[in-house]
Structure 1
């Protein structure tokens, strides 16, 4: 099956890619912001899940999220960042919303599934890249 495309294909696909990049960035900006606003609460949440060094992990998570934001907004190392983000989001799904959480709160299952839909989008983005508009070509920064 072939989709019919019009002459404005480049316009709407560029807009869609840029919108997707912006959505990815906004999600991680919000996540990092919540961590920075109350890093102690984030540490407590991490500790409650049984992880050691919770405050350090909270800071590292916030810094990772800021790095992902930079990649999504600039397009630099976009595919690599999308793959890292996908792995991170899957980790979060299992660590904080996995099957052990479902019996106490059924909405946790919904949170768990939501992480997979987000991961699917990140994987799709990793394959297709940042687009040609407003994207730094990170290939020129890599050693030859």
Structure 2
């Protein structure tokens, strides 16, 4: 039995509400992240440099641009599954780069931050498979015209 045949062709109002709330949560998390970057891009670049990455200001602006695109995709539903997969890869990278095992000895809270990324990752993977839902979703055919 395929995934499509297992799903109901009609979403209940509760399902629609849950999907929309999930999309808003995804968008809000990335909107907060990009807002902090825009408030102090230098601090973000310093954090990136402290982790040992080259070109920290370029990487900070690249992350901000990515996060803006993710917010737009989650809010509109356009390219939703692709955006969720990109966001999942980004969150996995962030978990290891900034909160991975090398950080745990210095600060036990880093392990909690690391694990939190995986719960977010799980939600993004689930969303990538199930899509943006039928309500308030930009039709990709419309976006191409």
Structure 1 runs of 4+ aligned residues shifted over 6 Å read none
1:133 is paired with a residue of what secondary structure? coil
Tell me how far 1:139 sits from its aligned partner: 5.3
Q: Which whole-Å deviations, capped at 9, do the CAs of 1:36-71 have from their partners, x for residues lacking one? A: 000000000000000000001000001100000000
- Separation in 1, partners of 2:139, 2:97: 34
Residue of structure 1 equivalent to 2:30: 28
Tell me how far 1:138 sits from its aligned partner: 2.1
Residue of structure 2 equivalent to 1:63: 65
Q: Which residue of 99, 123, 126 corresponds with 1:124?
A: 126
Q: Give the TM-score of the pair, scaled to structure 1.
A: 0.90
Gaps of 5+ in 2: 1-10
Q: Aligned residue pairs: how many?
A: 135
Gaps of 5+ in 1: 1-8
Residue of structure 2 equivalent to 1:104: 106
Residue of structure 2 equivalent to 1:51: 53
Q: Give the TM-score of the pair, scaled to structure 2.
A: 0.90
Tell me how far 1:13 sits from its aligned partner: 0.2
Matched, 1:136 2:138: yes
- Considering only aligned residues, what root-mean-square deviation do their CA atoms show, in Å? 1.4
Tell me how far 1:136 sits from its aligned partner: 1.0
- Separation in 2, partners of 1:122, 1:44: 28
- Separation in 2, partners of 1:84, 1:47: 23
- Separation in 1, partners of 2:128, 2:141: 15
- Separation in 2, partners of 1:131, 1:139: 16
Q: Which residue of 86, 89, 111 corresponds with 1:87?
A: 89
Task: Go from structure 1 to structure 2 and tell me whether the alpha carbon gap of 1:125 and 1:85 turns closer, same or farther (over 3 Å shift).
Answer: same
Q: Which whole-Å deviations, capped at 9, do the CAs of 1:55-110 have from their partners, x for residues lacking one? A: 01000001100000000000000000000000000000000000000000000000
